[in-house]
Structure 1
Amino acid sequence: MSPSAGTDVLDAQPQRPRDDSRGRSSRAGHGHPWLTLIAVALGVMMVGLDATVVSIANPAIAKDLGADLSGLQWVTNAYMLTIAVTLIPAGKIADRFGRKGTFIAGVIGFAIASVLIGASGSLGMVIFWRVVQGFAGALLQPASLAILRNTFPADKLNAAIGIWGATVGISIAGGPIVAGLLVENVNWESVFFLNAPLGVIALAVGLWVIRESKDEEARGSFDIPGVVLLSGALFALVWGLIKAGENGFGDAVPLWSFAAAIVLGAVFVVNELRAEHPLLPLGLFKSASLSAATGLIVLGFFGMFGTIFFITLYLQQVHGMSPVDAGVRMLPMTAVFIVASPIAGALTSRFGPRVPLVLGMAFTATALFGLSRIGVDAPYVQLWPWFVLIGLAFGFVLVAGTEAIVGNAPPQLAGVAGGLQQTAAQIGGVLGTSVLGTLLSTKVGDVLYGRLTDAGVPGQAAGQITDQGAGLVSQGVAPVPPGTSPDTADAITSASHLAFMDGWETSMTVAGAVAVVAILAALLVKRGQTPVEGAAAL
């Protein structure tokens, strides 16, 4: 999750709730703004932790459930895809049927789905419950911000959103360490079970203190065809990319998947142009600045999320770090985000979004090109500077991108524009893990046999390992057959790790090139006219 504005909180002018529940409170604390903030913060803390804990747990999930690289990609992508296509409708649900009820439903759904993920005995069930978890997260996020907006007076709203954003940032920063401790000392399932007590507390406090509110003027049908078409197009695209990594781009499955994605995407555009209440009003993209900023969010999160996915595999599988050590080593990346957000807010207020966006993408490109040059046994001193740059870039792109998207949208569509920002971030993350994973696994398949024979592994054995173990090597795992002699085992391990690093170099280089292109796009972004509440605090 990223601390972004939901589909309601970013309207141009703060409004009070449009219901009759603001009369005298029937119990102590009911409707109290700061207690409401605590309830909301507890809910979003679950989602913030989930943004980074899963990456640390991935190697353990793969080992326990026998997942290959594509399976791990779906553990991440199923969640992000679901959020991407349901976030805007979820905001509309909250406006129409009640923000408190929607928030509570999101908390309950997220906690239950988390427990069922941990209780799953197969990769398929993990992925299924990750989809449910994603939908619950989509309900929770916009409703939480809308609740704050309808609870706090205008002069205190930015401070409340700032605390909300800090809660998310601290959760993201602490996620790798929490996950490392749990995976190392308990099991990977406990990473998801952790959401149960948080959910129970958030539920109890939320039911007691949050006052219900809704937009009595909210009306119109939901664009169900739009949701289905966008979901299908993104699923087909991601499926094709992952299958291309397994079978090559010339295989029939990825080709048909890409064709389906194009057709469904085209039909989605036609549907949005004709729908009375479209999921995504395409008129928003008449603004060059808004369009460029949306593309920047996609490209920025493409590099950042894709990199985080593979960094944890590198640290644990190739470098041999424990989950705790890997979590601690990632702290410069995740913790710097907390510092970067207010800096980006100040820069955006002073210079507009263009300067922090250019800086953010320049930091991203520099970090990715730097990471592309590291070796199998790179000391930590060669890693942490790039981690710091990625953390800075994350904060800069997120805050300035939010201002550019929402600020350049018409005031009456500011809420939808806020949802567009988060949707773009999730799509970028999905594409990052999918495309970079495809590039890495394709390169591994191309070089693994040569790396094995160069290390002294006999040709027949090298061929068998290449045919049967390339998927493991793409995770950084050395597929050493049982009974292999120590010398041959060392040769297979060395060659496998070198092949992984070949794929790593390719994927990081491509991601860096994408970031360079994004720098050019950032030059097109101008300051908007619509005020963005809390932008500087996020």
Structure 2
Amino acid sequence: MATVSLSSPAGKWIMVSAILASAMAFIDGTALNVVLPALQQSLNAKGADLFWILNAYLLMLASLILIGGSLGDKLGRKKIFTAGIFIFIAGSALCGLSPGVFYLIIFRIIQGIGGALMIPGSLSLISSSIDVKERGKAIGTWSAITTVVTMGGPVLGGALADAGLWRYIFFINVPIGIAALLILWRKVAESRDDGADQSIDFPGAISIALGLALLTFGFLRMPAVGLNNWQVYGSLAAGLLLLAAFIYIERTSKHPMMPLSLFNNQTFSGINLLTFFLYAGLGGGMLFMSLNMVQVQGYSQLQSGLTFLPFTVLMISIARYAGSIADKKGPRLLLIIGPALAGVGLLILSFIKQTAGPADYWTSFFPGVLVFGFGMSLTVAPLTATVMGSVSDHFSGTASGINNAMTRIANVFANAIFGALAVLFFSGAMQGDLKKMPLSEKNKKAVTEQAANLGNAKVPDGINGPDRKAIETAYHNSFILAYSNIMRICAGLAFLGASMSVAFIRNSAVKKE
């Protein structure tokens, strides 16, 4: 198909529509982390409910995003992108109107279906429509702007949550989505791979969706029923079998939704492994940092959101330059240094204990956020350009879908596994403190049951005086211990991501502008 210049009116409208839709989805993700404490109180949600609210969306996104990328290449990128935006804003409006936790989880599933069609479409539309000489610059611009807007999500979420308006995190998507739809309708031409096979890989789609769903369900049930329960090991085993079946189906299918031949390129394989490990660390780190600030350290939700501003400033200042350097010198070195620095930042954040609240921010959270933000600023644009530059143009939607799937799968597993681990760490620390307290077995059991609520754990009714104060202190200390352990695991994942760049990524495998 014919391509257009980035500086042409058509090129600018393509960029605006892609950035608006992507930003809508990414803001929703980061802002929701900050409003979770307000949402938990408003809907009387348990700790496990919070992880389901996060993962209902991420699960559908991870399960179906490969289908979204593949459908765009085959049936028309604008058509599938438009359908995804429409479903996403419908789901968002329903989320904002949710009367309770159950309905919110159901409507988050609808959001996830829309996101799966929408998110790979944005990058695919850019890669297939913008002239090849300007494609690197376009992807770098998309990466920088969407990441900056994404990191503004916590500030927006904090302000709305403190004002008692957490539902507007969902409502705000409606006008943004409508603007993107109008631009696509009036200003953007259709784009499809005319040589693509029009057949759809239904067996592959069903196996990957069910496999990921069962794995996530197993991890989320673990804190409530234990590892030896049939619901846990049965779900995990069935999920792994279905993922193995997905690989077999893709290897033997005449119309695979994920052509395994793409992974013959070790740079493409390496960049997706880097994405998985880094974004698992990023997702877990940001979630538990937000919960720590609000539920334990005494920050308001707006103050918690503002703590990410240094991250945003660094992205504005550095991300586009990092993309330009990667275009000229190759992305490999940046993709080693960036994730390693992000890991150092997460490690610094893991050593934070009880603080005096926002007054201690500059000497507690700020140094870690600064190093973490600098590392991510060096990584985001080169990572995206490497994904899109390591495959041929007619696989742009599929490549974008695979890499976005890695990001969402990483977030799903991070939330599920870290949620289970946090409860285990929290409960283990509480058991040690409870042995020292003169409480009845009934009261000890009631205190322990609150572990599922993590930082929002409340002292059971009927316990007063010095015991009440001791239990509150134990809850805080137990959460801080769990937080520290999770942040160190997240740092380890970032370092593992950097090692993927060392082992697999080669500059020679990435197309230049």
Tell me if 1:16 matches 2:2. yes
1:387 to 369, 374, 383: 369
CA contact (8 A) 1:340 1:391 kept: no
Give 1:43-192 correspondences, 5 Å limit: 43-149=21-127, 152-154=130-132, 157-192=135-170
Match of 2:412 in 1: 430
Match of 1:464 in 2: 445
1:236 to 194, 214, 239: 214
CA distance in structure 2 between the partners assigned to 1:17 and 1:517 by the alignment:
38
CA distance in structure 2 between the partners assigned to 1:44 and 1:327 by the alignment:
20
Match of 1:510 in 2: 489
CA distance in structure 1 between the partners assigned to 2:125 and 2:228 by the alignment:
50
CA distance in structure 2 between the partners assigned to 1:406 and 1:169 by the alignment:
17
Deviation at 1:89, TM superposition (A): 2.2
CA contact (8 A) 1:359 1:393 kept: yes
- The verdict on how the C-alpha distance between 1:414 and 1:103 changes in structure 2, with shifts beyond 3 A counting, is closer
CA distance in structure 2 between the partners assigned to 1:174 and 1:168 by the alignment:
10
1:520 to 490, 499, 503: 499
Worse-matched range after superposition: 398-407 or 322-331: 398-407
Tell me if 1:479 matches 2:458. yes
Deviation at 1:151, TM superposition (A): 5.3
Give 1:281-300 correspondences, 5 Å limit: 281-300=259-278
Tell me if 1:333 matches 2:306. no
1:257 to 235, 238, 243: 235
Match of 1:25 in 2: none
Worse-matched range after superposition: 122-131 or 313-322: 122-131
User: Which protein has the bigger helix share?
Assistant: 2
Tell me if 1:451 matches 2:433. yes
The alignment covers a number of residue pairs equal to 505
Deviation at 1:181, TM superposition (A): 1.3
Worse-matched range after superposition: 257-266 or 443-452: 443-452
- The verdict on how the C-alpha distance between 1:364 and 1:457 changes in structure 2, with shifts beyond 3 A counting, is farther
Match of 2:346 in 1: 368
- Secondary structure at the counterpart of residue 509 of structure 2: coil
CA distance in structure 1 between the partners assigned to 2:14 and 2:153 by the alignment:
24
**Unaligned 5+ residue runs, structure 1?**
1-14, 19-29, 534-538
CA contact (8 A) 1:241 1:434 kept: yes
CA distance in structure 2 between the partners assigned to 1:470 and 1:480 by the alignment:
11
CA distance in structure 2 between the partners assigned to 1:262 and 1:153 by the alignment:
41
CA distance in structure 1 between the partners assigned to 2:414 and 2:185 by the alignment:
38
Letter in 2 for 1:517: L
Letter in 1 for 2:447: T
CA contact (8 A) 2:343 2:491 kept: yes
**TM-score normalised to the size of structure 2?**
0.90
CA distance in structure 1 between the partners assigned to 2:220 and 2:253 by the alignment:
32
Match of 2:475 in 1: 496
- Secondary structure at the counterpart of residue 214 of structure 1: coil
Deviation at 1:302, TM superposition (A): 0.9
Deviation at 1:142, TM superposition (A): 3.1
Match of 2:381 in 1: 399
- The verdict on how the C-alpha distance between 1:199 and 1:518 changes in structure 2, with shifts beyond 3 A counting, is closer
CA distance in structure 2 between the partners assigned to 1:297 and 1:165 by the alignment:
14
- The verdict on how the C-alpha distance between 1:507 and 1:154 changes in structure 2, with shifts beyond 3 A counting, is closer
Letter in 1 for 2:445: Q
CA distance in structure 2 between the partners assigned to 1:407 and 1:107 by the alignment:
26
Q: What is the CA deviation profile of residues 293-313 of structure 1, one whole-angstrom value per residue up to 9, with x for unaligned ones?
A: 221111101101111111111
CA distance in structure 1 between the partners assigned to 2:134 and 2:143 by the alignment:
14
Match of 1:8 in 2: none
Match of 1:420 in 2: 402
Deviation at 1:117, TM superposition (A): 0.5
Letter in 1 for 2:92: S
Deviation at 1:384, TM superposition (A): 1.4
CA distance in structure 2 between the partners assigned to 1:495 and 1:37 by the alignment:
51
Deviation at 1:432, TM superposition (A): 1.6
- Secondary structure at the counterpart of residue 406 of structure 2: helix
Deviation at 1:240, TM superposition (A): 1.7
CA distance in structure 2 between the partners assigned to 1:519 and 1:35 by the alignment:
35
CA contact (8 A) 1:445 1:466 kept: no
CA contact (8 A) 1:411 1:530 kept: no
Worse-matched range after superposition: 118-127 or 215-224: 215-224
- Secondary structure at the counterpart of residue 194 of structure 2: coil
Match of 1:23 in 2: none
CA contact (8 A) 1:465 1:479 kept: no
CA contact (8 A) 1:182 1:188 kept: yes
**TM-score normalised to the size of structure 1?**
0.86
CA distance in structure 1 between the partners assigned to 2:202 and 2:196 by the alignment:
17
CA distance in structure 1 between the partners assigned to 2:264 and 2:127 by the alignment:
28
> RMSD between aligned alpha carbons?
2.7
Q: What is the CA deviation profile of residues 306-331 of structure 1, one whole-angstrom value per residue up to 9, with x for unaligned ones?
A: 11111111111111211111111122
